[in-house]
């Protein structure tokens, strides 16, 4: 069976994160959050939806943050993502 995880890199997204994660939590099996230095309540909100919240020191390299969080994923989405079959970007 295919399982799908949502991997997100975020920073200071308290204004919109709950609005994004509420419907997504009904669509995916697991949520993985990579926080790149939030100073607001982003991590607290993320933890309402998942225990998989990780800190990542921002190095001005989006691909490093993306690779970091996809390595945490243990769903079949990871295999698809790494093969480049699909990519979802949310603004």
pLDDT in tens, the chain (91 residues): 677 888 899 999 999 999 999 999 998 889 999 999 999 999 999 999 999 999 999 999 989 998 899 888 875 555 444 444 344 444 3
Give the global pTM. Answer: 0.81
Contacts of 66 (CB under 8 A, 6+ apart): 7, 9, 34
Whether 84 contacts 12, CB under 8 Å: no
Helix (H, G, I), strand (E, B) or coil at 66: helix
Q: Which helix (H) or strand (E) holds 27?
A: helix 17-27
By C-alpha distance, which of 27, 5, 8 is closest to 16?
8
């Amino acid at each position: 069976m295919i399982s799908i995880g949502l991997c997100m890199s975020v920073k200071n997204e308290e204004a919109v994160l709950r609005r994004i994660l509420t419907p997504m939590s009904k669509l995916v099996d697991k949520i993985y959050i990579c926080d790149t230095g939030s100073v607001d309540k982003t991590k607290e909100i993320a933890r309402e939806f998942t225990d998989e919240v990780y800190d990542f020191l921002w190095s001005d390299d989006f691909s490093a943050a993306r690779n970091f969080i996809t390595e945490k994923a243990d769903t079949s989405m990871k295999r698809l993502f790494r093969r480049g079959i699909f990519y979802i970007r949310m603004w």
